[in-house]
Amino acid sequence: MGTKNKIDKNYLISIIEDIILNEGISGLSIRKVAKKANISIGGVQYIFGNKEAMIKAVFEKNDDDYNHQIKNLSKDTNSKYSELKAHIEYISKYNSNEELDKISKVITVLLQDKSVFEGLQDWHSSALGSIDTNTDEGKKLRLAFLFSEAMFTSMTLKYINLSKKEQNEIFEDLKTFLL
């Protein structure tokens, strides 16, 4: 097995993500990543150290991608809730998008990792805690946020099977009545 002079961390993360999507976290190993990347086991260990760091790297990559999308969607508004509204827009805009489908699958698998699960719990608690529910706007936003999260989860876990048209109509209703 030949090694490359410079190891591309992003390339390794894409291999790790692919393994996680196809085999789950239990199928992930340093040896398997090294073999698929055609590099030494030591090369993978040098970049990540261990399996937990590989999982963390995949989560951070997806989190960075998400934050980039949220920044793009919220940059034209001065609302104190611009990021939460951008989150809802992200879910509604990309509800049938192949990339969102991939992200939702990655998150579902990564939730098996305790630190990822706790991080998402903290994020949701913080998001809900940032809403002033003493106002009508805050009450509607809380409902919109929780509804969009429920839709995302239901679609991700395939609890409901909606056509793209139905999904778009539901999210348009959400925006019309709650935002």
Tens of pLDDT along 40-69? 999 999 999 999 999 999 989 988 988 898
Tens of pLDDT along 156-167? 777 888 888 898
Position 34 pLDDT exceeds 70: yes
* All structural domains of the chain with their residue ranges: 1-49, 58-178
Question: The tokens of 7 are what?
Answer: 């190891």
Mean pLDDT, residues 64-82: 84
Task: Please give the CATH superfamily to which domain 1-49 belongs.
Answer: Homeodomain-like (1.10.10.60)
11: confidence class by pLDDT, cuts 50, 70, 90: very high
Output the pLDDT for position 96.
55
Name the least confident of 7-21, 40-54, 94-108, 119-133.
94-108
Distant-in-sequence contacts of 8-17, Cβ < 8 A, 24+ apart: 9/47, 9/57, 10/61, 11/37, 12/37, 12/44, 12/47, 12/48, 13/57, 13/58, 13/61, 16/54, 16/55, 16/57, 16/58, 17/58, 17/61, 17/106
- Gap between the terminal Cα atoms of the chain: 56
